[in-house]
């Protein structure tokens, strides 16, 4: 499914093949369910039956006439519907029938098309949609907002400019999400192509380049690796289900998506800067990538009153495997603002180049959508993590009121070339890489149900976990790696919840409840930039980003661009 290591395109060939990839992906989107609207837009772009596309768009415009599955009428995710209708109007108005335009106008004029959900991507969708509609129909009266559309334009324009610059300075709240990056991407594409303000169009183009570079430095053969904010179980279990795979294929020629949700990335005139493409395709030597993200507060999305803390994540990249984790997350200052903490978050992950399902991670499961069986730890946050290059420690301190008094690990037997259990370790081999996983409370394999052969479970409320990975050379290298890890000193005090691991390759890692993570006796340096790796650098809060080898080939200055619009 994924592009084989070493089989990727050159930057030049990738740029030349863009239109072929775009056409193929449009064909995939055109087969989507019509009620999702994206299929109708893809069909219009391909010059297909405009009458059928108009019918679909009119059906989408009837959202408020249909109850939800429970029989209620509510706003739900109405902003998605309004956004796609807006794109249809702005890009294909000449092919829309008068009745379709009238239905779209009634949809946005008579109803509140702001979602009931208060998350980052929904705010961006609403502001983008309302701005573009207001610029097309300034005389339209918004019944829900009590004013003509023209009266909202400057407010939304200012909000969008400030939103983009803040994300460039302090990162995204739904950081590195393999699903929610896509609706944000769609909005930026819409602003890039349709906003009247030249400064906003320039900011959108710069952010599209930055998002691609941000994704690329953590990616392997099109797979978005390491720790993530906001994802669902299917994305945690198999990289092949990532929505971002379409973006990696379209712009970098990586991966082979078997589905495509969005059309707007394929409709947009944006093309990445050649340095961003070279970044994605030119990396060969291992490197460390450190990133820092602001604490996302759903009550203050812009934000008007930024929280002081931040989240720090680390990714160690090699051509054969990628290991990454959330190294530290500052506490939210109060319970209300902290409700979002660890929401659908993926705290650590080890991925292998051989395929999308070949990945390892541990997790404390929950019983709801925001803290579920495979992602998130909302209203718990019992895990802490420490990584040094290719070794990682995790400790879990599960509160008594949590419904799941255990942790588990994703270990899909069928996805690996070999799985060996010896000396208390669970070893896996994938291509030219091997990893060892140690669950210090022991474990048992799940043998029934959907996770049979894919899950190991460790009982108890206090846990220590060790994972180490390395490149190996054949069977002999795998055997030597196993002997090495089995001989490494490991100390775990369960009551005090203190774990120390002496790695021959990566130093002495120490992690304890209430204390700082230590590497060779020294605390971690957490005061790094928004981006800090050889390919991507930005000082915390500066909004000035260097992209490319040695991070100086392309410079994006967001505050300057915002001030010059």
DSSP string, 495-519: TTTEEEEEETTTEEEEEETTS--EE
φ, ψ of residue 425 to 5 degrees: the values are -100, 155
Pick from 369, 374, 322, 366: nearest CA to 347: 374
DSSP SS3 for 384: strand
Task: Give me the tens of pLDDT residue by residue for the chain, a chain 565 residues long.
Answer: 344 344 578 888 998 999 999 999 999 998 866 557 899 999 999 999 899 999 999 999 988 776 555 544 445 789 999 999 999 999 999 999 999 999 999 999 999 999 988 889 999 999 999 999 999 999 999 999 999 999 999 999 999 999 999 999 999 999 999 999 999 999 999 999 999 999 999 999 999 999 999 999 999 999 999 999 999 999 999 999 999 999 999 999 999 888 887 789 999 999 999 999 999 999 999 999 999 999 988 889 999 999 989 999 999 999 999 999 999 999 998 877 787 889 999 999 999 998 889 999 999 999 998 999 999 999 999 999 999 999 999 999 999 999 999 999 999 999 999 999 999 999 999 999 999 999 999 999 999 999 999 999 999 999 999 999 999 999 999 999 999 999 999 999 999 999 999 999 999 999 999 989 999 999 999 999 999 999 999 999 999 999 998 656 899 999 999 985 4
Q: What's the predicted TM-score (pTM) here?
A: 0.95
Helix (H) or strand (E) holding 225: none
CB-based contacts of 249, cutoff 8 Å, min separation 6: 21, 25, 222, 255, 256, 257
Q: How far is CA 381 from CA 121, 328, 340, 384, in A?
A: 23, 12, 11, 8
When computed from its CA atoms, the radius of gyration of the chain, rounded to whole angstroms, is: 24
Show the tokens assigned to 160: 């969008």
DSSP SS3 for 12: helix
The overall longest dimension of the chain from CA atoms, in Å, is: 75
Please tell me what DSSP assigns to residue 258.
S
Q: What is the pLDDT of residue 4?
A: 37
Q: 10 Å Cβ neighbour count for 502? A: 15
Length of the chain, in residues: 565
Pick from 152, 181, 151: nearest CA to 167: 181
Q: What is the pLDDT of residue 552?
A: 62
Q: Tell me how many helices (H) and strands (E) the chain has.
A: 16, 27
Query: What is the sign of the dihedral through the CA atoms of 331, 332, 338 and 340?
Result: negative
Show the tokens assigned to 380: 């718990």
């Amino acid at each position: 499914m994924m592009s084989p290591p070493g089989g990727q395109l050159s930057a030049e060939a990738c740029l030349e093949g863009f239109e072929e990839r775009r056409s193929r992906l449009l064909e995939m989107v055109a087969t989507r369910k019509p009620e999702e609207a994206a299929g109708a837009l893809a069909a219009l772009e391909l010059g297909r039956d405009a009458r059928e596309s108009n019918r679909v768009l009119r059906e989408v415009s009837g959202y408020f006439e249909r109850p939800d599955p429970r029989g209620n009428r509510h706003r739900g995710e109405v902003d998605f519907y309004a956004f796609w209708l807006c794109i249809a109007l702005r890009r294909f108005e000449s092919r829309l029938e008068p009745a379709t335009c009238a239905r779209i106008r009634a949809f946005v004029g008579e109803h509140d098309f702001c979602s009931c959900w208060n998350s980052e991507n929904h705010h961006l969708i609403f502001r983008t949609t309302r701005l573009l509609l207001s610029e097309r129909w300034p005389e339209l009266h918004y019944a829900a907002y009590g004013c003509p559309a023209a009266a909202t334009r400057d407010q939304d324009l200012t909000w969008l400019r400030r939103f983009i610059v803040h994300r460039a300075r302090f990162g995204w709240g739904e950081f590195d999400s393999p699903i929610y990056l896509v609706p944000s991407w769609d909005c930026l594409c819409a602003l890039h192509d349709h906003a009247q303000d030249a400064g906003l169009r320039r900011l959108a183009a710069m952010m599209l380049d930055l998002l691609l570079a941000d994704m690329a430095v953590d990616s392997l053969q099109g797979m978005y690796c390491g720790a993530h904010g906001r994802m669902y179980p299917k994305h945690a279990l198999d990289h092949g289900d990532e929505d971002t795979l379409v973006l990696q294929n379209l712009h970098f020629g990586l991966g082979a998506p078997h589905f495509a949700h969005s059309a707007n990335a394929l409709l947009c005139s944006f093309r990445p800067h050649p340095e961003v493409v070279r970044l994605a395709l030119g990396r060969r030597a291992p490197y460390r990538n450190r990133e820092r993200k602001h604490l996302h507060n759903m009550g203050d999305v812009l934000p008007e009153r930024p929280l002081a803390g931040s989240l720090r994540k680390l990714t160690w990249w090699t051509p054969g495997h990628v290991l990454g984790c959330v190294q530290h997350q500052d506490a939210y200052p109060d319970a209300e603002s902290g409700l979002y903490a660890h929401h659908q978050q993926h705290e650590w992950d080890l991925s292998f180049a051989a395929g999308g399902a070949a990945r390892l991670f541990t997790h404390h499961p929950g019983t709801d959508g925001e803290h579920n069986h495979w992602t998130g730890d909302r209203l718990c946050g019992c895990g802490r993590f420490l990584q040094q290059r290719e070794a990682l420690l995790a400790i879990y301190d599960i509160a008594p009121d949590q419904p799941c008094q255990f942790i588990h690990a994703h270990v899909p037997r069928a996805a690996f070339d070999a799985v060996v259990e010896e000396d208390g370790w669970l070893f896996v081999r994938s291509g030219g890489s091997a990893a060892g996983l140690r669950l210090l409370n022991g474990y048992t394999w799940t043998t029934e149900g959907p996770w049979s052969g894919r899950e190991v479970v460790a009982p108890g409320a206090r846990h220590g976990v060790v994972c180490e990975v390395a490149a190996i050379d054949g069977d002999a290298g795998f055997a030597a790696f196993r002997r090495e890890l089995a001989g490494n000193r490991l100390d775990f005090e369960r009551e005090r919840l203190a774990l120390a691991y002496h790695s021959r390759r990566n130093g002495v890692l120490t992690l304890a409840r209430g204390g700082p993570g230590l590497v060779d006796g020294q605390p971690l340096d957490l005061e790094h930039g928004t981006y800090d790796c050889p390919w991507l650098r930005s000082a915390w809060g500066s909004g000035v980003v260097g992209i490319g080898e040695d991070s100086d080939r392309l410079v994006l200055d967001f505050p300057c661009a915002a001030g010059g619009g």
